[in-house]
Amino acid sequence: MSVRPIRRTGRPGGAQATPYTRWGGAAFFEALVDRFYRGVEADGRLRPMYPADLAESKAHLALFLGQYWGGPADYNARRGAPRLRMRHVPFAIGPPEAAAWMEHMTAAVRESGLTPGDQEELLEYLAMAARSLVNTVPSRRVAGSPGDAEDRPHRLLELGVVEPGPGPEHGGGVGADRDP
Ligand code: HEM
């Protein structure tokens, strides 16, 4: 699938309408991000990574997603090129953090009122993007040590955060230097 932003010009209801226009424009992405952050706020795995005041974090994510799905280039105007890999480097994002992020995003998308087909399209992109932002390798389970590491891959598979088979580090998937 393409990882480039959708750049068609939108005509509401027409054949050229972008997802941004069809889904309800800025208001759709703001509401989606509000629901997502409600999940993040209550999540001890993710909340400590974010600033105390989430207003700017919400605005940036909503603008980015709107721009990606064919809306105005307001994210770029405000923040410059997305460079999401670079912007996430300060945060230790392993598969568990990506799974937690996707958990809240999946709940937010499921409540969005989009058609099942559009939900899948949006979630497929978000899962791909979340996988591409993993920047921390989980520590390996030492034989005989306690921990639930052995259970994790199954849970991540269920959540769609990891896929069976070789990951990007084995030559597949999204390039490490590319923006989601
Ligand atoms: C994989 C799990 C992820 C984690 C743990 C995570 C965490 C974070 C954190 C802690 C911030 C900083 C918030 C702030 O300073 O206001 C941030 C910013 C951001 N994230 Fe993520 N993120 C994840 C995935 C994603 C994905 C998949 C996308 C896009 C589809 C995304 C898009 C953004 C954007 C646009 C920003 C704002 C960047 C800026 O302009 O400063 N993130 N993320």
pLDDT of residue 142: 60
Residue 84 belongs to a domain = yes
The reply to whether 126 falls in a domain is yes
Q: With 50 as the cut, is the pLDDT of residue 35 above it?
A: yes
Task: Return all residues near 8 (Cβ < 8 A) that are at least 6 apart.
Answer: 16, 18, 70
| Residue with CA nearest ligand 1 atom 37 | 60
Share of the chain above pLDDT 70, in %: 68
User: Which of 29, 47, 87 should be mutated for ligand 1, with most atoms under 8 A from CB?
Assistant: 87
* Average per-residue pLDDT for the chain: 82
Residue 86 domain-assigned? yes
3 lines ligand 1 (CB under 6 A): no
Q: Is residue 13 part of a domain?
A: no
DSSP H helical segments within 42-177, as ranges? 55-68, 74-79, 84-88, 95-110, 116-132, 152-159
Burial zone of 100 (CB within 10 Å; 0-12 exposed, 13-18 middle, 19+ buried): buried
Mutate to test the pocket of ligand 1, among 41, 84, 126 (most ligand atoms within 8 A of CB): 84
* CA 145 / ligand 1 centre spacing (Å): 33
Number of domains in the chain: 1
DSSP state of 49: G
Summarize the confidence of residues 62-91 as an average pLDDT: 98
**Which CATH number is 59's domain given?**
1.10.490.10
Q: What is the extent of the structural domain holding 39?
A: 20-138+150-164
For the beta carbon of residue 103, count every other beta carbon within 10 angstroms: 17
| Residue 130 CB–ligand 1 contact under 6 Å | yes
Please report which confidence band the pLDDT of residue 152 belongs to, taking 50, 70 and 90 as the band edges: very low
How crowded is residue 101: how many other Cβ atoms within 10 Å of its Cβ? 25
37 Cβ below 6 A of ligand 1? no
Give residue 137's pLDDT: 86
Residue 169 lies in a domain: no
Closest to 175 in 3D by CA, of 137, 132, 144: 132
pLDDT digits (tens, 9 = 90+) for 1-20: 445 566 554 445 455 799 99
What's the pTM value of the predicted model, to 2 decimals? 0.79
**Domain presence at residue 33:** yes
Q: Which residue has the tokens 């490490």?
A: 176
Neighbour-count burial of 77, counting CB atoms closer than 10 A to its CB (0-12 exposed, 13-18 middle, 19+ buried): exposed
127 lines ligand 1 (CB under 6 A): no
Q: If you count them, how many residues does the chain have? A: 180
Burial class (CB in 10 A: 0-12, 13-18, 19+), 72: middle
> Whose CA is closest to atom 35 on ligand 1?
61
Query: Does residue 50 sit within a domain?
Result: yes
Ligand 1 binding pocket includes 47 (Cβ within 6 Å): no
